[in-house]
Amino acid sequence: MATTINELRVKRAQAWEGAKAFLESHRNEKGFLSAEDDAAYTRMEQDIDALGKEIKRLERQQEIDAELNRPTSQPITEKPAAAAGIADTKQGRKSDEYKTAFWNMMRSKAVTPDVLNVLQIGTDADGGYLAPDEFEHTLITALEEENIFRKFARTLQTNSGDRLIPVVSSHGKAEWMDENALVPESDDKFAQMSVSAYKLGTFIKVSDELLSDAAFDIPNYIATEFARRMGAREEEAFFVGDGVKKPTGIFADEGGADVGVTLGSAAITADSLIDLFYSLRAPYRRNAVWIMNDSTVKAIRKLKDKNDQYLWQTALTAGTPDTILNRPIYTSPYVPEIANGNKVMMFGDLKYYWVVDRQGRSFKRLNELFATTGQVGFMTTQCVDGKLTLSEAIKVMQVKGSSSGNSNKG
């Protein structure tokens, strides 16, 4: 390719020298060209321009080839420098360059070709830009504050839409046997559970004046507001989602947790809480938590066991939750309230509930949609799924009613 470019440069130089010679030799006594000569000279200039464009195209192609052939990592040829002297070597979405370019794009500041080139690192298939790693971490932290599920559930990242999870459906067991008898075969049986990636999205509007105000913390505002909205929708689905275009929740009739206790009426007793506690096998009780609605908390706070001891124990240390039977209690507005047919609380180990995030969260700036009102829109989307991988790891309490169906699976 280099030889071809050099040949074109030589040819272009020769064409320019020929054009100049033609111009000098065909001017009349007044210094003008005839119409016919002027047309001929114009064609010469067009050929020269065409050669110049072709040279630029080949040079650009050469640059791209060199960039694609560049090694993705560099060997260490020196001793590592002292920690204080190490420059910022973060790459991709972790780099300060990408973070600065991302927020310049969101604020529509200094949108230069260099900024756009940096942002190509995080361009997703839908035309948005993936959030810088620091901002995405801020968003995830905020989601954990809003969404108790992400404190306890197992969270996975995936690059594809569907993922198969291997689940042990039944365990093998040992058998007593006669002397010299063959050892009986007994294998674990495995099943596969498929998790998908359902799309969740929202957008907010910010005035042009607020956006241009350097004192306004746009990243913090967007992170907090998006976390509030998306965290709430996530948590609702993780509890009561039916698996149709959304995750499958703990309290779902299909794919949810086993029913450990069924109440005959909408009145929770101390015995029913103890029964729910022991309906969960001991290995799961070690990391189990209670989760219920605030209205349910009011109904059980004064319950006592047969030794006249309150089941509810208030935490004495700041930052620690209250407990029932020495296991922590958390509340969520998305757990159903006490009513006939409802599943009103859960007790179990939430690490067996898997939250699957596909790639990162994508952000877009909507310039024209609200331009007439002097506002700019910001839109974010994420793809997430959630499923309980082992139903026996969590037990729920259900109030008997016309919609309860089979009251006890476990």
Listed in sequence order, the DSSP H helices in 251-394 are 270-279, 282-285, 294-300
- How many of the other CB atoms lie within 10 Å of CB of 15? 16
- Asked if residues 254 and 287 have their Cβ atoms less than 8 Å apart, the reply is no
| pLDDT at res. 119 | 46
**316 or 197: whose pLDDT is higher?**
197
**155 or 279: whose pLDDT is higher?**
279
Lowest mean pLDDT among 120-129, 148-157, 396-405: 120-129
Cα separation of 118 and 104, whole Å? 11
Report field, pTM of the whole predicted structure over 0.75 = no
| pLDDT at res. 358 | 82
pLDDT at 265 over 50: yes
Question: Token digits for 359?
Answer: 């790639």
Amino acid at 357: D
pLDDT at 329 over 90: yes
Q: Across all residues in the chain, what is the average pLDDT?
A: 78
pLDDT at 179 over 60: yes
pLDDT tens by residue, 298-321: 888 888 888 888 888 887 666 678
Q: What is the largest CA-CA distance in the chain?
A: 125
Q: Collapsing DSSP states into helix, strand and coil, what is residue 265? A: coil
Question: Token digits for 322?
Answer: 């209250």
pLDDT at 83 over 60: no
- Asked if residues 91 and 73 have their Cβ atoms less than 8 Å apart, the reply is no
Cα separation of 115 and 92, whole Å? 13
User: What proportion of the chain, given as a percentage, has pLDDT over 90?
Assistant: 25
| pLDDT at res. 188 | 60
pLDDT at 194 over 90: no
List beta partners, residue 375.
207
Q: Would you place residue 87 in the very low, low, confident or very high pLDDT band (cuts 50, 70, 90)?
A: low
Burial state string for 180-215 with b = 16 or more CB within 10 A and e = fewer than 16: eeeeeeeeeeeeebebbbbebbebbebeeeebeeee
Cα separation of 332 and 343, whole Å? 13
pLDDT at 169 over 60: no
Lowest mean pLDDT among 10-14, 72-76, 163-167: 72-76
Lowest mean pLDDT among 65-79, 202-216, 326-340: 65-79
Q: Would you place residue 209 in the very low, low, confident or very high pLDDT band (cuts 50, 70, 90)?
A: confident
pLDDT at 371 over 90: no
In the chain, what are the domain boundaries? Answer: 2-61, 129-171+188-214+222-410
Residue the block writes with tokens 């000569």: 37
Cα separation of 260 and 272, whole Å? 10
The mean pLDDT of 79-97, rounded to a whole number, is 58
The mean pLDDT of 10-36, rounded to a whole number, is 82
Instruction: Give phi and psi for 207, each to the nearest 5.
Output: -70, 150
Q: Collapsing DSSP states into helix, strand and coil, what is residue 382? A: strand
pLDDT at 82 over 50: no
CATH number for domain 129-171+188-214+222-410, candidates 3.90.1690, 1.20.1050, 3.30.2010, 3.40.50: 3.90.1690
| pLDDT at res. 15 | 85
The mean pLDDT of 390-397, rounded to a whole number, is 94
pLDDT tens by residue, 136-146: 666 666 666 56
Amino acid at 25: S
Most confident of 19-28, 34-43, 45-54, 235-244: 235-244
Q: Would you place residue 76 in the very low, low, confident or very high pLDDT band (cuts 50, 70, 90)?
A: very low
Cα separation of 369 and 372, whole Å? 8
pLDDT at 42 over 80: yes
| pLDDT at res. 270 | 93
pLDDT at 122 over 60: no
Q: Would you place residue 402 in the very low, low, confident or very high pLDDT band (cuts 50, 70, 90)?
A: low
| Per-position DSSP letters for 340-365, written without gaps between them | TT-EEEEEE-GGGEEEEEEEEEEEEE
The mean pLDDT of 29-54, rounded to a whole number, is 83
Per-residue CA distances from 72 to 68, 75, 87, 98, 121 (Å): 9, 10, 19, 18, 14
pLDDT tens by residue, 45-62: 888 878 877 887 887 777
Q: Collapsing DSSP states into helix, strand and coil, what is residue 47? A: helix
